[in-house]
Structure 1
């Protein structure tokens, strides 16, 4: 069973209220999802709280995940990232607090990026990103890989917020079409 199939299986069991499946999903994904929270929030305590909120939401919304050929990690990461961004927006950035990288626990298992590189999908994604105008590709990377908010992108580029949203939506559609080919 592939890791993708295993996570899909666990999500379907969680949707039925299986606590053991939830525990296994936590063990398999918490380090990666925590790193998503930490990357957005840059505060360990806030990231831990966001992760807890994410797993509560996963428990309650596991039935909303649909097997569609895409990675279930994408669904989990998106859900977690959105929670972290919402917390970041509510709290606002704290310039006085610095992240101590020594506190971050390293995970020796291959991360999502290493799995993508291993499967060849990373190369396809990079090829499709190159088909986008350079400025749009940078926006996609900053929004979906670095965790920048639309407002941060708007402020950094001087482009109106709604225009940023439109560009990102259209760029994602182009990427989806390219990846499906």
Structure 2
């Protein structure tokens, strides 16, 4: 039995010293309703990039397949602004000419495949949805010009084929490819 009290003394002595050292700091004063600190502000998030003018070379584009251009003739270039699905200005002009070609021109009765793309800035799911919205926006616009929705297939590749590393490169990533359905 004499060994047990000695063992307890050997084990408990360092614990007592440790507890005494930790207990030397005075306890913090109790908070009252008047001196409770407000919660810290939320962590900063990246500010959304400003909308870009579609006339600038940093806007995305609507790319029309060479087979379509060969059949329909030269069509104007069309562009998308950053984080945009709007079809305005030169994009509307290009799509008007494209719709005429598919409604009453050389490609009457043919179908289209629209593939939306996004630049890599953003979450994968968001970019896939944005690419789909861009393709859907083009399909809807073409529908208002008489092209039946049953002749238009839409899909999105989001950021998966994006290769840009700066504003000009990202602008090239923001596009809708228009292909002849075969």
Q: Does TM, scored on the shorter chain, surpass 0.5? A: no
| Bigger share in strand | 2
Normalising by the smaller structure, the TM-score range is: under 0.3
Which structure carries more relative contact order (alpha carbon 8 Å, separation 6+)? 2
| Bigger share in helix | 1
Q: What's the TM-score, normalizing by structure 2?
A: 0.26
